[in-house]
Structure 1
C-alpha cells in the first residue's frame, strides 16, 4: 500500500509541475477548454495558476519523499 501511495504522489507531482509550466507558457486563449482559466481570445498568462500548480506538485514530491523513508521501530 505504501508503494502505491508514493507512486501516485510522484505521478501527480509530475503532472502538476507540467500543468504549471503550461500555465506559464501558453496564453489563456490557447489553453485547452477543460482547464480552469481558459478565456477565448485572451493573451493573458495565468501566472498565479501556474505558481499554485507548481507548489502543489512540489508538496506532492515532499509527501512521497517522507512516505518512502525508513520505518521506525
Structure 2
C-alpha cells in the first residue's frame, strides 16, 4: 500500500507541474476544453492557476519523499 501511494503521489506531482507550465505558457483561449480556466477567445495567461498547480505538485513530491524514508519504530 505504501509503495502504491508513493508512486501515485509522484505521478500526480509530475502531472500537476506539467499542468502548471501549460498554464504559464498557453493563453486561456488556447487551453484544451477539459482544463479548468479555458475561455474561448481569451488572451490572458492564468498565472495563479499555474502557481497553485505547481505548489500542489511540489507538496505531493514532498509527501512521496517522506513516505519513502526509513521506518522508525
Q: Count how many residue pairs are aligned between Structure 1 and Structure 2.
A: 73
Aligned counterpart, 1:8: 8
> Per-residue CA shift, 1:7-64, capped at 9, x if unaligned?
0000000000000000000000000001111110110000000000000000000000
Stretches of structure 2 that go unaligned for 5 or more consecutive residues are none
Give ranges in structure 1 of 5+ residues lacking alignment: none
Over the aligned positions, Cα root-mean-square deviation in angstroms equals: 0.4
Q: Which residue of structure 2 aligns with residue 42 of structure 1?
A: 42
Given the two structures, how large is their TM-score scaled by the length of structure 1?
Answer: 0.98
TM-score (norm 2): 0.98
User: In the TM superposition, what are the counterparts of 1:1-73 in structure 2 within 5 Å?
Assistant: 1-73=1-73
Q: What is the distance in 1 between the residues matched to 2:23 and 2:7?
A: 24
